[in-house]
Structure 1
Amino acid sequence: MSTVKTEKRETDPDPAAHHPGDLYPAGPERRLYWALADCWNVTRRTLTHYQRQPVTIVWQLGFPIVSVLLYGFVFGEAMAVPGDGDYREFLMPGMFASTMAFGFMGTTMAVVTDSTKGVIDRFRSMPMAPSAVAAGRGVSDLLVACAELTILGVTALLIGWEAEGGAPAAVGAFGLLLLLRFSLIWVGVWLGLLVPNAEAAGGLYAVAFPLTMISSIFVAPSLMPSWLGPVAAWNPVSSTVTATRELFGQPVSGGTWIEENAVLMAVVWPLVITAVFLPLAVRRFQALSR
């Protein structure tokens, strides 16, 4: 009898129709239902790890606070701002964006850990939607990103920062920050599936560090050397930083096309990054050997 069942599964034109506990007839609706259910299960698994390993979430959420206090109060008085504005007002949008940008390294480390421990192979052997692993990782990382922005925003208010552009503009600014984080999630997933182990993934900080430092997070590109300023201005992170400063009503630097169209580019850059790395991440996952 087991032989008959095996032959039926191999010759069935729609193996996905045999998802355990299927309550819907075969069709797009059933596929969508189980894709969403599988995505939620992967998301819940990731959030459960945070619950059982509180040190991880404390570090991930605490580091931005330490960074704000360090750059805002230790270096703040020595930093120049376009228009002689307050450096802490200039800094906070940059710290928001820096936290979102650096988050992709956490994604990379989590994915490579699952991959080296055989968790990814286990997922591939189960009757689940192929997109669920990447999508679940993306949803859980966005939820963590929302928590990071909330804690960082409260910290900013406590040190005297405020969004002077109004509530609708502030909501738009936080939306652009989450859009940047969303696009970089797929970079992290792809890298996590590409590198062989956690040690190699740790070496990627050498790439992530210039991504955030050579930007307008801490210093305006106009105050940098003439050869470095354009590189920083065209950094995708800089577009998000400048756009959020504009929406928050904070000091901004201008004079170049990329800076004057920062809000537009803060949408375009993440969409381009997502269009490139999301298919690469899914294709890499599908190409993994069982």
Structure 2
Amino acid sequence: MTATTTIPPVPGQPADRLRWAVVDSWTITRRELAHWIRQPVQIVLGLLFPIMVVLMFGYLFGGGMAVPGGGDYREFLMPGMYAMTMLFGIEASYAAVATDASRGITDRFRAMPMAGSAVVVGRSVADLLHAALGLAVMVGCGLAVGWRWHGGLTAALAGFGLLLLLRFAVLWIGIYLALLLRNPEALVALQILVWPVLFLSNALVSPETMPGWLGVLAELNPLSATVSATRDLFDNPGWGGGSWLGRYAVPLALGWPILLTAIFLPLSVRLYRRLDR
């Protein structure tokens, strides 16, 4: 007697298809979390890097930094470091998705009766959970070096929410680039491009000190909006300034990630579905 395996049909009703996609996405999320549990050293090293940067800026360079309007430099520094840590997600997403694609794992997933969006959505959920863990570690580091929020718990939670929203948006940029290039070696080129974005912002330097056109680009940087918004919500010292972009930092910190997600999420799902088998 031989046993036969029946592949379940694709659900026809929208509600059933949505439930199917959620279940499959959670399966992929669990796969990624299992990989992290089996490789704790990689996770620990990834968390230690931003802590090292905080200690370097806070204690090595902090004595020579003057905060406009006065205030503690480490309270000024930490919102920028939180936002910069969120931007590192584009590299982590790219590396994981590009590696799966180059090894044929993505093709195996596409050959299974899975929802077309499950692989990329599951990956983004896992990365967001990892980002929440990294943000918690960074907050602990900030508290240890003297950073505090002064705007109340609700405002602080809103600030943390904006940081995770930024991370969610850049995750989709990383996923899209990984599916487009499918080359893990291109991560080095991506890292070279990410660092100018990090420093062309108001995280460490005031845009008012830059040449006019460069200062405008720095203020238009989505990272700058999140940094300004979180400094306001945490009631930490900032650069000040009366520009329109500075006055509406919170709406921009919401709008930029939503716009980026609206562009790169559907592009990533469509590109995944069109990959060659």
Residue 85 of structure 1 and its aligned partner are, at CA, apart by 2.4
Structure 1 residue ranges (4+ consecutive) displaced by more than 4 angstroms after TM superposition: none
Match for residue 89 of structure 1 among 75, 78, 85: 75
Matches within 5 A, 1:128-147: 128-147=114-133
Unaligned runs of 5+ in 2: none
1:148-203: per-residue Cα shift (whole Å, max 9, x none)?
A: 11000011111111001110000000000011001111101001111141111221
Partner of 1:16: 10
1:244 matched to 2:227: no
- Number of equivalenced pairs: 274
Superposition CA RMSD, Å: 2.0
Whether the 8 Å contact between 1:176 and 1:267 is mirrored in structure 2 is yes
From 243, 267, 274, the counterpart of 1:280: 267
Give the Cα separation in 2 of the matches to 1:68 and 1:114.
Answer: 32
Deviation by residue 1:224-274 (Cα, 9 ceiling, x = unmatched): 333422211110100000000000001122211011100010001001101
CA shift in 2, pair 1:179/1:150, >3 Å: same
SS of the residue 1:83 aligns to: coil
Unaligned runs of 5+ in 1: 18-25
Instruction: From 139, 157, 171, give the equivalent of 2:157.
Output: 171
Between stretches 223-232 and 128-137, larger displacement belongs to 223-232
Q: Report the Cα offset of residue 121 of structure 1.
A: 0.2
Secondary structure of residue in 2 paired with 1:57: helix
Displacement of 1:15:
4.3
* Greater Cα offset, 82-91 or 234-243: 82-91
SS at match of 1:84: coil
8 Å contact kept, 2:99–2:182: no
Q: What TM-score, normalized by structure 1, do the two folds share?
A: 0.90
Radius of gyration: which is bigger? 1
Q: How does 1:33-112 map to 2 (within 5 A)?
A: 33-112=19-98
Contact 1:82 1:220 in 2 (8 A): no
Structure 2 distance, partners of 1:198, 1:247, is 38
- One-letter identity of the residue aligned with 1:89: E
Quote the residue 1:119 is aligned against.
Answer: 105
Instruction: Trace 1:194-233 onto structure 2 (pairs within 5 A).
Output: 194-233=180-219
